[in-house]
Amino acid sequence: MEGEFAKLLEESFKKLNQEVITGTVVKVTDREAFVDFGWKSEGVVPLKELGYKPKVGDKIEVCVVEPETEEGYALLSVNCARSIKEWERLADEIEKKGIVRGRIKQRVRGGYKVKLEEGLTVFLPMSQVDIMPVTQPDQWLDKEIEAKVLSVDRKRRSIVISRRKLLEEERAKKREETLKRLKEGDIVEGTVKNIVDFGIFVDVDGVDGLVHKSDISWSGLKTPFDVAKIGDRIKVKIKKIERDKERLVLSLKDVRPDPWEKIDELIKPGMEVEGEVVKEDKKGYWIYLPQDVAGYLPAKSLPKGVKLKYNYRYKFIVDSIDKEKRRVVLKWPEETLQK
Protein backbone atom coordinates (compact mmCIF):
# COMPACT_ATOMS: atom_id res chain seq x y z
CA MET A 1 0.00 0.00 0.00
CA GLU A 2 2.82 2.39 0.94
CA GLY A 3 4.68 1.53 -2.25
CA GLU A 4 1.60 2.25 -4.34
CA PHE A 5 1.09 5.57 -2.58
CA ALA A 6 4.72 6.54 -3.14
CA LYS A 7 4.36 5.74 -6.84
CA LEU A 8 1.22 7.86 -7.17
CA LEU A 9 2.90 10.71 -5.30
CA GLU A 10 5.94 10.55 -7.59
CA GLU A 11 3.69 10.67 -10.64
CA SER A 12 1.85 13.67 -9.20
CA PHE A 13 5.16 15.46 -8.70
CA LYS A 14 6.05 14.91 -12.37
CA LYS A 15 2.71 16.29 -13.41
CA LEU A 16 3.02 19.32 -11.13
CA ASN A 17 6.52 20.07 -12.37
CA GLN A 18 5.15 20.46 -15.87
CA GLU A 19 2.85 23.34 -14.89
CA VAL A 20 3.84 26.99 -14.73
CA ILE A 21 1.79 28.87 -12.10
CA THR A 22 1.62 32.61 -11.60
CA GLY A 23 1.72 33.50 -7.90
CA THR A 24 1.74 36.64 -5.76
CA VAL A 25 4.49 37.48 -3.29
CA VAL A 26 2.94 37.86 0.19
CA LYS A 27 6.05 37.96 2.39
CA VAL A 28 9.80 38.38 1.94
CA THR A 29 12.60 37.42 4.36
CA ASP A 30 16.36 37.59 4.00
CA ARG A 31 16.47 34.13 2.44
CA GLU A 32 13.03 33.38 1.00
CA ALA A 33 9.97 34.81 -0.71
CA PHE A 34 6.57 33.47 0.33
CA VAL A 35 4.14 33.12 -2.54
CA ASP A 36 0.38 32.67 -2.74
CA PHE A 37 -0.09 30.42 -5.79
CA GLY A 38 -3.69 29.31 -5.26
CA TRP A 39 -3.21 26.37 -2.93
CA LYS A 40 -4.33 26.18 0.71
CA SER A 41 -0.78 26.66 1.94
CA GLU A 42 1.74 29.16 0.65
CA GLY A 43 4.91 28.28 -1.18
CA VAL A 44 8.48 29.43 -0.71
CA VAL A 45 11.10 30.40 -3.28
CA PRO A 46 14.77 30.77 -2.28
CA LEU A 47 15.98 34.32 -3.04
CA LYS A 48 19.26 32.80 -4.27
CA GLU A 49 17.36 31.05 -7.05
CA LEU A 50 15.15 34.06 -7.74
CA GLY A 51 18.21 36.26 -8.24
CA TYR A 52 16.69 39.38 -6.70
CA LYS A 53 14.59 40.49 -3.70
CA PRO A 54 10.97 40.96 -4.78
CA LYS A 55 8.38 43.22 -3.22
CA VAL A 56 5.13 42.14 -1.61
CA GLY A 57 2.48 42.09 -4.32
CA ASP A 58 4.91 41.20 -7.13
CA LYS A 59 3.78 38.52 -9.57
CA ILE A 60 6.20 35.66 -10.30
CA GLU A 61 5.94 32.47 -12.30
CA VAL A 62 6.85 29.26 -10.48
CA CYS A 63 6.64 25.46 -10.57
CA VAL A 64 5.84 23.22 -7.62
CA VAL A 65 8.91 21.14 -6.80
CA GLU A 66 7.59 19.63 -3.57
CA PRO A 67 3.94 19.96 -2.46
CA GLU A 68 4.75 20.18 1.24
CA THR A 69 7.97 20.53 3.23
CA GLU A 70 8.46 19.79 6.93
CA GLU A 71 7.57 23.43 7.65
CA GLY A 72 4.23 22.96 5.93
CA TYR A 73 5.00 25.07 2.85
CA ALA A 74 5.23 24.03 -0.77
CA LEU A 75 8.71 24.29 -2.30
CA LEU A 76 8.57 26.37 -5.48
CA SER A 77 11.08 26.95 -8.29
CA VAL A 78 11.43 29.88 -10.65
CA ASN A 79 14.23 28.12 -12.59
CA CYS A 80 11.82 25.32 -13.44
CA ALA A 81 9.28 27.86 -14.70
CA ARG A 82 11.95 29.69 -16.71
CA SER A 83 13.09 26.40 -18.27
CA ILE A 84 9.54 25.49 -19.25
CA LYS A 85 8.89 28.96 -20.72
CA GLU A 86 12.14 28.72 -22.67
CA TRP A 87 11.21 25.20 -23.85
CA GLU A 88 7.83 26.48 -25.02
CA ARG A 89 9.47 29.38 -26.84
CA LEU A 90 11.88 27.07 -28.63
CA ALA A 91 9.12 24.55 -29.34
CA ASP A 92 7.05 27.29 -31.00
CA GLU A 93 10.07 28.29 -33.06
CA ILE A 94 10.80 24.69 -34.08
CA GLU A 95 7.16 23.96 -34.92
CA LYS A 96 7.02 27.09 -37.08
CA LYS A 97 10.20 26.11 -38.95
CA GLY A 98 8.95 22.56 -39.54
CA ILE A 99 12.43 21.28 -40.43
CA VAL A 100 15.28 20.95 -37.93
CA ARG A 101 18.94 19.94 -37.82
CA GLY A 102 20.65 18.02 -35.04
CA ARG A 103 23.01 15.26 -34.00
CA ILE A 104 21.96 11.75 -32.95
CA LYS A 105 23.32 11.45 -29.41
CA GLN A 106 21.88 8.36 -27.75
CA ARG A 107 20.07 5.15 -28.58
CA VAL A 108 16.96 4.63 -26.45
CA ARG A 109 14.02 2.25 -26.50
CA GLY A 110 12.27 2.56 -29.86
CA GLY A 111 14.65 5.08 -31.37
CA TYR A 112 17.19 7.82 -30.63
CA LYS A 113 17.62 11.03 -28.68
CA VAL A 114 18.67 13.87 -30.97
CA LYS A 115 20.22 17.15 -29.79
CA LEU A 116 18.96 19.96 -32.02
CA GLU A 117 20.91 23.08 -32.97
CA GLU A 118 18.40 25.04 -30.88
CA GLY A 119 19.53 23.11 -27.80
CA LEU A 120 16.47 20.92 -27.23
CA THR A 121 16.65 17.13 -27.08
CA VAL A 122 13.97 15.41 -29.18
CA PHE A 123 12.94 11.86 -30.06
CA LEU A 124 13.57 10.17 -33.39
CA PRO A 125 11.66 6.85 -33.69
CA MET A 126 13.63 4.01 -35.27
CA SER A 127 10.95 3.67 -37.96
CA GLN A 128 11.46 7.33 -38.92
CA VAL A 129 15.24 7.24 -39.41
CA ASP A 130 15.32 6.21 -43.06
CA ILE A 131 13.15 5.03 -45.94
CA MET A 132 14.74 1.61 -45.67
CA PRO A 133 14.63 -0.31 -42.35
CA VAL A 134 17.60 0.36 -40.03
CA THR A 135 19.64 -2.85 -39.72
CA GLN A 136 22.69 -1.46 -37.86
CA PRO A 137 21.37 1.06 -35.30
CA ASP A 138 24.73 1.93 -33.74
CA GLN A 139 26.05 3.24 -37.06
CA TRP A 140 23.67 6.19 -36.80
CA LEU A 141 25.10 7.43 -33.52
CA ASP A 142 26.78 10.88 -33.64
CA LYS A 143 25.50 11.52 -37.17
CA GLU A 144 24.19 14.95 -38.09
CA ILE A 145 20.75 14.80 -39.66
CA GLU A 146 18.01 17.01 -41.04
CA ALA A 147 14.46 16.02 -40.17
CA LYS A 148 10.83 17.09 -40.23
CA VAL A 149 8.92 17.92 -37.03
CA LEU A 150 6.18 15.30 -36.62
CA SER A 151 4.60 16.41 -33.35
CA VAL A 152 5.01 18.81 -30.42
CA ASP A 153 3.39 17.66 -27.17
CA ARG A 154 3.48 20.66 -24.85
CA LYS A 155 1.89 18.81 -21.96
CA ARG A 156 4.60 16.16 -21.93
CA ARG A 157 7.34 18.51 -23.17
CA SER A 158 8.02 16.09 -26.00
CA ILE A 159 8.96 16.64 -29.65
CA VAL A 160 9.06 13.84 -32.22
CA ILE A 161 10.92 14.24 -35.50
CA SER A 162 11.17 12.18 -38.70
CA ARG A 163 14.06 12.02 -41.13
CA ARG A 164 12.11 9.50 -43.20
CA LYS A 165 9.19 11.89 -43.72
CA LEU A 166 11.54 14.57 -45.01
CA LEU A 167 13.23 12.12 -47.38
CA GLU A 168 9.85 10.92 -48.68
CA GLU A 169 8.69 14.50 -49.34
CA GLU A 170 11.95 15.34 -51.11
CA ARG A 171 11.67 12.13 -53.12
CA ALA A 172 8.05 12.90 -54.07
CA LYS A 173 9.07 16.35 -55.30
CA LYS A 174 11.98 14.91 -57.24
CA ARG A 175 9.71 12.18 -58.65
CA GLU A 176 7.23 14.79 -59.89
CA GLU A 177 9.99 16.77 -61.60
CA THR A 178 11.45 13.62 -63.15
CA LEU A 179 8.09 12.42 -64.53
CA LYS A 180 7.62 15.78 -66.26
CA ARG A 181 11.02 15.45 -67.90
CA LEU A 182 11.01 11.79 -68.97
CA LYS A 183 9.58 10.50 -72.27
CA GLU A 184 8.79 6.99 -73.51
CA GLY A 185 11.72 5.74 -75.55
CA ASP A 186 14.34 7.61 -73.50
CA ILE A 187 17.46 5.72 -72.49
CA VAL A 188 18.27 6.66 -68.90
CA GLU A 189 20.51 5.58 -66.05
CA GLY A 190 19.15 4.26 -62.76
CA THR A 191 20.15 2.53 -59.55
CA VAL A 192 19.22 -1.10 -58.86
CA LYS A 193 17.14 -1.12 -55.66
CA ASN A 194 16.06 -4.77 -55.54
CA ILE A 195 16.27 -7.98 -57.56
CA VAL A 196 13.62 -10.70 -57.54
CA ASP A 197 12.83 -13.71 -59.71
CA PHE A 198 10.48 -11.77 -61.98
CA GLY A 199 12.63 -8.71 -62.54
CA ILE A 200 14.83 -5.82 -61.44
CA PHE A 201 13.56 -2.78 -59.53
CA VAL A 202 15.33 0.39 -60.61
CA ASP A 203 15.23 3.93 -59.21
CA VAL A 204 15.40 6.52 -61.99
CA ASP A 205 15.92 9.94 -60.37
CA GLY A 206 13.36 9.19 -57.67
CA VAL A 207 10.88 7.29 -59.86
CA ASP A 208 10.41 3.55 -59.35
CA GLY A 209 10.71 1.33 -62.39
CA LEU A 210 10.66 -2.39 -63.17
CA VAL A 211 12.64 -4.35 -65.73
CA HIS A 212 10.57 -7.51 -66.20
CA LYS A 213 12.55 -10.71 -66.71
CA SER A 214 11.28 -10.87 -70.30
CA ASP A 215 13.10 -7.60 -70.99
CA ILE A 216 16.43 -8.64 -69.50
CA SER A 217 18.10 -10.08 -72.62
CA TRP A 218 17.33 -10.75 -76.29
CA SER A 219 18.35 -14.37 -75.88
CA GLY A 220 15.96 -14.91 -72.96
CA LEU A 221 18.70 -16.93 -71.28
CA LYS A 222 19.72 -14.40 -68.62
CA THR A 223 18.01 -14.07 -65.25
CA PRO A 224 17.73 -10.83 -63.27
CA PHE A 225 20.44 -12.11 -60.91
CA ASP A 226 22.82 -12.74 -63.83
CA VAL A 227 22.96 -9.15 -65.05
CA ALA A 228 22.87 -6.87 -62.00
CA LYS A 229 23.54 -6.43 -58.30
CA ILE A 230 21.79 -4.17 -55.79
CA GLY A 231 23.41 -0.74 -55.94
CA ASP A 232 24.55 -1.06 -59.58
CA ARG A 233 24.05 1.85 -61.96
CA ILE A 234 22.53 0.50 -65.18
CA LYS A 235 21.21 1.93 -68.43
CA VAL A 236 17.60 1.14 -69.29
CA LYS A 237 15.08 2.15 -71.93
CA ILE A 238 11.68 3.51 -70.92
CA LYS A 239 9.00 1.36 -72.58
CA LYS A 240 6.06 2.98 -70.84
CA ILE A 241 5.35 5.70 -68.26
CA GLU A 242 2.42 4.88 -65.98
CA ARG A 243 1.81 8.43 -64.79
CA ASP A 244 -1.25 7.57 -62.68
CA LYS A 245 0.87 5.09 -60.70
CA GLU A 246 4.06 7.19 -60.93
CA ARG A 247 6.16 4.29 -62.14
CA LEU A 248 8.11 3.19 -65.19
CA VAL A 249 8.11 0.05 -67.33
CA LEU A 250 11.74 -0.46 -68.32
CA SER A 251 13.81 -2.63 -70.61
CA LEU A 252 17.44 -3.63 -70.34
CA LYS A 253 17.66 -5.45 -73.65
CA ASP A 254 16.27 -2.55 -75.69
CA VAL A 255 19.32 -0.44 -74.84
CA ARG A 256 21.11 -2.58 -77.46
CA PRO A 257 19.93 -3.43 -80.98
CA ASP A 258 18.10 -6.71 -81.49
CA PRO A 259 20.79 -9.11 -82.80
CA TRP A 260 18.19 -10.96 -84.88
CA GLU A 261 17.78 -7.93 -87.14
CA LYS A 262 21.28 -8.70 -88.49
CA ILE A 263 21.55 -12.37 -87.61
CA ASP A 264 22.61 -13.35 -91.18
CA GLU A 265 25.63 -11.05 -90.84
CA LEU A 266 26.54 -12.27 -87.37
CA ILE A 267 26.16 -16.01 -87.69
CA LYS A 268 26.27 -18.36 -90.68
CA PRO A 269 25.73 -22.12 -90.95
CA GLY A 270 29.00 -24.07 -90.74
CA MET A 271 30.88 -21.42 -88.76
CA GLU A 272 32.48 -22.18 -85.40
CA VAL A 273 31.11 -20.33 -82.37
CA GLU A 274 31.89 -20.39 -78.68
CA GLY A 275 29.18 -20.26 -76.06
CA GLU A 276 28.30 -20.88 -72.41
CA VAL A 277 26.03 -23.66 -71.20
CA VAL A 278 23.25 -21.97 -69.20
CA LYS A 279 20.54 -24.63 -68.86
CA GLU A 280 19.48 -28.09 -69.91
CA ASP A 281 16.12 -29.59 -70.88
CA LYS A 282 15.03 -33.10 -71.88
CA LYS A 283 16.13 -32.72 -75.49
CA GLY A 284 19.35 -30.78 -75.19
CA TYR A 285 21.30 -27.76 -73.92
CA TRP A 286 20.72 -24.02 -74.15
CA ILE A 287 23.87 -22.11 -75.03
CA TYR A 288 24.44 -18.38 -74.54
CA LEU A 289 26.23 -17.12 -77.67
CA PRO A 290 27.99 -13.78 -78.33
CA GLN A 291 25.76 -10.80 -79.22
CA ASP A 292 23.12 -12.08 -76.77
CA VAL A 293 21.91 -14.83 -79.10
CA ALA A 294 20.32 -18.07 -77.91
CA GLY A 295 21.86 -21.28 -79.16
CA TYR A 296 20.46 -24.79 -78.80
CA LEU A 297 22.42 -28.04 -78.91
CA PRO A 298 20.26 -31.18 -79.37
CA ALA A 299 21.45 -33.94 -77.05
CA LYS A 300 21.43 -36.42 -79.95
CA SER A 301 24.24 -34.47 -81.65
CA LEU A 302 26.63 -35.22 -78.77
CA PRO A 303 29.00 -38.19 -78.91
CA LYS A 304 27.99 -41.05 -76.68
CA GLY A 305 29.02 -40.50 -73.07
CA VAL A 306 29.66 -36.76 -73.42
CA LYS A 307 27.81 -34.56 -70.96
CA LEU A 308 28.25 -30.78 -70.88
CA LYS A 309 28.83 -28.86 -67.66
CA TYR A 310 26.70 -25.94 -66.55
CA ASN A 311 28.44 -22.51 -66.84
CA TYR A 312 31.30 -23.98 -68.89
CA ARG A 313 32.25 -22.59 -72.30
CA TYR A 314 32.57 -24.86 -75.35
CA LYS A 315 33.08 -24.53 -79.08
CA PHE A 316 30.28 -25.56 -81.43
CA ILE A 317 29.44 -25.64 -85.13
CA VAL A 318 26.38 -23.74 -86.39
CA ASP A 319 24.00 -26.27 -87.91
CA SER A 320 21.11 -23.96 -88.86
CA ILE A 321 19.38 -20.69 -87.95
CA ASP A 322 15.76 -20.87 -86.80
CA LYS A 323 14.47 -17.31 -87.24
CA GLU A 324 10.92 -18.19 -86.25
CA LYS A 325 11.99 -19.53 -82.86
CA ARG A 326 14.90 -17.04 -82.62
CA ARG A 327 17.54 -19.62 -81.90
CA VAL A 328 20.69 -20.95 -83.50
CA VAL A 329 20.77 -24.75 -83.76
CA LEU A 330 24.24 -26.08 -82.95
CA LYS A 331 26.08 -29.35 -83.37
CA TRP A 332 29.12 -30.87 -81.78
CA PRO A 333 32.37 -30.68 -83.77
CA GLU A 334 32.99 -34.16 -85.14
CA GLU A 335 36.78 -33.91 -85.34
CA THR A 336 37.39 -33.20 -81.62
CA LEU A 337 36.27 -34.36 -78.20
CA GLN A 338 36.30 -31.29 -75.99
CA LYS A 339 37.03 -31.20 -72.30
Residue-wise pLDDT tens digits, 263-314 = 999 999 999 999 999 999 989 999 999 999 999 999 988 888 788 998 999 9
pLDDT in tens, 115-149: 998 888 999 999 999 988 899 999 999 999 999 99
User: Which residue did the predictor score with more confidence, 210 or 6?
Assistant: 210
Nearest to 200 by CA among 176, 233, 242, 177: 233
Q: What pLDDT is recorded for position 18?
A: 62
Q: Which of 106, 135, 166 is the last residue in one of the domains?
A: 166
With 80 as the cut, is the pLDDT of residue 234 above it? yes
Q: CA of 294: how far to CAs of 135, 151, 218, 279, 319, in Å? A: 41, 58, 8, 11, 13
Residues 156 and 215 both lie in one domain? no
Q: What pLDDT is recorded for position 7?
A: 44
Q: CA of 227: how far to CAs of 25, 123, 255, 260, 295, in Å? A: 80, 42, 14, 20, 19
- The CATH number of the domain holding residue 145 is 2.40.50.140
Give the pLDDT mean for 22-44: 90
Stated as kind and residue range, the H or E segment containing 170 is: helix 163-181
Q: Is residue 14 part of a domain?
A: no
Q: Is residue 143 part of a domain?
A: yes
Share of the chain above pLDDT 90, in %: 65
Stated as kind and residue range, the H or E segment containing 84 is: helix 78-97
Q: Is residue 267 part of a domain?
A: yes
What rounded mean pLDDT belongs to the chain? 89
With 50 as the cut, is the pLDDT of residue 16 above it? no
Q: What pLDDT is recorded for position 244?
A: 87
Nearest to 164 by CA among 126, 195, 137: 126
Q: Is residue 17 part of a domain?
A: no
Q: What pLDDT is recorded for position 3?
A: 43
Q: Is residue 175 part of a domain?
A: no
Q: Is residue 256 part of a domain?
A: no
Share of the chain above pLDDT 70, in %: 93
Confidence of residue 82 (pLDDT cuts 50, 70, 90): confident
- Structural domain tally of the chain? 4
Between the two ends of the chain, the Cα-to-Cα distance in Å is 87
Q: Is residue 7 part of a domain?
A: no
Residues 87 and 142 both lie in one domain? no
Range of the domain at 75: 22-97
Its sign, for the CA torsion 120, 121, 125, 128, is positive
With 70 as the cut, is the pLDDT of residue 339 above it? no
* Conformational region of residue 264, where left means phi above 0, alpha means psi within -120 to 50, and beta covers everything else: alpha
Q: Is residue 285 part of a domain?
A: yes
Residues 30 and 91 both lie in one domain? yes
Using CA atoms, how far apart are residues 259 and 328, in angstroms rounded to an integer? 12
Using CA atoms, how far apart are residues 268 and 272, in angstroms rounded to an integer? 9
Nearest to 105 by CA among 97, 113, 93: 113
Residues 93 and 26 both lie in one domain? yes
Q: What pLDDT is recorded for position 14?
A: 47
Q: What pLDDT is recorded for position 115?
A: 94
Give the pLDDT mean for 46-64: 90
Using CA atoms, how far apart are residues 306 and 93, in angstroms rounded to an integer? 79
pTM: 0.60
With 90 as the cut, is the pLDDT of residue 192 above it? yes
Using CA atoms, how far apart are residues 37 and 162, in angstroms rounded to an integer? 39
> Minimum mean pLDDT among 9-18, 68-77, 174-183, 280-289: which range?
9-18
Residues 69 and 103 both lie in one domain? no
